[in-house]
Amino acid sequence: MTPADKLIASDVRTRFARLVLRPDRRFDLAEAALLVAAEEDPRCDVARCFAQLDELGIEARARLESERGASKVAAFNQYMFDNLDFIGNRQDYYDPRNSLLNHVLRRHTGIPITLSIVYIEVGWRAGLRTEGVGLPGHFIVRVRPDEESDEAMLVDPFNRAVIDEEDCQERLDVVYNGQVPLTANHMQAATPREIVIRLLRNLKAVYAQVHLHRRALAAVERILLLAPQALDEHRDRGALLAHLGRYAEAITDLRTYLNFSPDATDAEAVREQLKRVHAHLAALN
């Protein structure tokens, strides 16, 4: 990052931190996802992206005006998937741009969670009732034709398909080798905060995979703004800080993890890591 880019990122982080302090009813999913993107990409125009979502919502609402019930959802799906051609990026799934909402809006491709965010945001602007559902290893949307309707459908924006609970069970079977039955807990609506946490965890994993430790750390820091008690994130932040040579800070985070999770399955590995970090710090003194 250039010095100017760092200043922009710092300002965006401040805005994100203020957003996190809002009560849940005022926590805006699109704003949070766009601030995540703006910290990563200083060219992200948050106001323009909001305007784009509004424009798409207005056009979709006009197209759905004469539709009712399931046909209303079908017409919306046709608009999103056929007319706008939003589609999952299978060819380059781990491209960080797939996690940045401004790029998803520009390129009309992304990963399940960002495509679901677009679907949710355009959907409610068009008069649908939309909510995210975070399955293990996948993300989908539950959609109803309007606020009063009890008639719900499940939509998979990544695969551009209407699905059912049998399809969700098949997804669990892949993840858990057929050992876990689908329950009501799996199908619960994800809150906007939970969606943004999951978005940031995806981004963290993408950066960690290619050893971009500073960027992965930035993702963890924002997760901890949203979920300060997330012990796994303290562990991960400690590991990333150690990679960056910030040993004293790493020790604090790793100790926090071990103090509150002394019997975790990875506790012994973290203890060994903590010893190595202490040794690195001692070598500097």
Q: Where are the domains of the chain?
A: 54-190, 194-284
Please, which contacts does 76-85 make with residues 24 or more away whose CB atoms are closer than 8 Å? 76/123, 76/126, 76/128, 76/143, 77/155, 77/160, 77/162, 80/118, 80/119, 80/122, 80/157, 81/157, 81/160, 84/56, 84/108
Query: Whole-prediction pTM value?
Result: 0.95
Q: Give the pLDDT of residue 117.
A: 98
pLDDT confidence of residue 7? 87
CATH T-level topology, domain 54-190: C8orf32 fold (3.10.620)
- The topology under which CATH files domain 194-284 is 1.25.40
Whole-number pLDDT of residue 152: 93
Residue 5 pLDDT: 76
Blockwise average pLDDT, block size 10, the chain, 285 residues: 81 95 94 97 95 98 92 96 97 97 98 98 96 96 85 96 95 92 95 98 96 97 97 98 97 97 96 96 87
